Amino acid sequence: MTVLLTSDADGVRTLTLNRPHRKNAIDAELWEALRAALVEAGEDRSVRALVLTGAGGAFCSGADISQRVSGAHPLYRMRTLTEVTLALHELPVPTVAKVTGIAVGAGWNLALGCDLVVATEEARFAQIFARRGLSPDCGGSWLLPRLVGLQQAKRLALLAETIDAEEARALNLVTWVVDTGTVDAFVDGLTARLVASAPVALAQTKALLNEGAEHTLREALASEARAQAVNFATADVPEAYAAFAEKRDAHFTGRWAVPGRTAGRSEDKT
């Protein structure tokens, strides 16, 4: 059985965790497949948005603790989890978690690592680590305080409570809660809007927001100035202006629009 399903449609790549018999608990094979798939998605310019979801009515029940543990030191085993988390966080395209059923432990933190989270009404969430004698991983200790504040983060992590989709939304851990029957159409519409946007500008915006919590205002302003310089070097800015003037939808490509040097021209002297 293929543990990670990959599909592409209209610029959207969907990665589906496919171990439904274990509620998509992630074993060593799936961790490796997920790492490779995220790196590949980041390098594929045809991918304009990414959806992470699970098969069989569950998102992910966390790491598969039923799997036989190898003799390697836990720090080495954790390296793959670290690389998956960073690859997801640093992916230059918008990411959407489509959560049906349970999302617990590392599975929930993978969802939180996405830029947007769409959950169905029956979705359930838990930072289950404390019940397993463990502490949060996959970025949970970094993500939770930034999303809900320190006190609520401690409540979720220390008590390992299970919360429903509506409470998760109230805590800013879910972006939208939708009916199960409409979740696919909702995510399709959402990703279509993302794909229609300027890809370079979205990548710059995502990076600015991710970095902003760690920056001073002065540092953030400097980063914004650099990002705008990158944006103005694409064909998307003049296309947006033209579309506005012509009262039509813009067609964004992310194409580099700075003229190159004339062939045969000697290098400038300094």
CATH code of the domain covering residue 144: 3.90.226.10
| Residues whose CB falls within 8 Å of the CB of residue 131, separated by 6 or more in sequence, listed in order | 160
Q: Where are the beta strands (DSSP E) in 111-226?
A: 116-120, 124-126, 162-164, 176-178
Helix (H) or strand (E) holding 210: helix 199-212
37 falls within a domain: yes
Full domain range(s) for residue 142: 4-195
145 falls within a domain: yes
Of the residues 161, 195, 229, the one at which a domain ends: 195
Query: What are the tens digits of pLDDT across the range 47-102?
Result: 999 999 999 999 999 999 887 666 677 777 789 999 999 999 999 999 999 999 99
| Residues whose CB falls within 8 Å of the CB of residue 209, separated by 6 or more in sequence, listed in order | none
Residue 264: predicted pLDDT: 45
229 falls within a domain: yes
Residue 5: predicted pLDDT: 98
261 falls within a domain: no
**Cα 108–83–104 angle (5° rounding)?**
10
* CA quadruple 230, 235, 238, 241: dihedral sign: negative
The answer on 96 and 67 residing in a single domain is yes
* CA quadruple 147, 149, 150, 155: dihedral sign: negative
Residue 69: predicted pLDDT: 62
**Cα 28–207–157 angle (5° rounding)?**
50
The answer on 162 and 236 residing in a single domain is no
Residue 73: predicted pLDDT: 72
The answer on 224 and 178 residing in a single domain is no
The answer on 113 and 91 residing in a single domain is yes
Q: Compute the distance between CA of residue 254 and CA of residue 196 in angstroms, rounded to an integer.
A: 11
Q: Compute the distance between CA of residue 217 and CA of residue 28 in angstroms, rounded to an integer.
A: 41
Under a CB-based contact definition with an 8 Å cutoff, are residues 113 and 64 in contact? no
161 falls within a domain: yes
119 falls within a domain: yes
The answer on 68 and 39 residing in a single domain is yes
Q: Which parts of the chain register pLDDT below 70?
A: 68-71, 260-270
The answer on 208 and 110 residing in a single domain is no
Of the candidates 103, 73, 265, 115, which has an alpha carbon nearest to the alpha carbon of residue 205? 115
The answer on 173 and 231 residing in a single domain is no
260 falls within a domain: no
The answer on 210 and 105 residing in a single domain is no
Residue 270: predicted pLDDT: 33
The answer on 30 and 80 residing in a single domain is yes
The answer on 13 and 96 residing in a single domain is yes
Residue 265: predicted pLDDT: 46
Residue 80: predicted pLDDT: 92
Q: Compute the distance between CA of residue 10 and CA of residue 5 in angstroms, rounded to an integer.
A: 17
Residue 269: predicted pLDDT: 40
Amino acid at 38: L
The answer on 191 and 203 residing in a single domain is no
24 falls within a domain: yes
The answer on 96 and 208 residing in a single domain is no
Angstrom CA distances, 224 to 9, 213, 229, stand at 32, 14, 9
Query: For residue 218, with 0-12 CB atoms within 10 Å meaning exposed, 13-18 middle and 19 or more buried, which class applies?
Result: exposed
Say how many domains are in the chain.
2
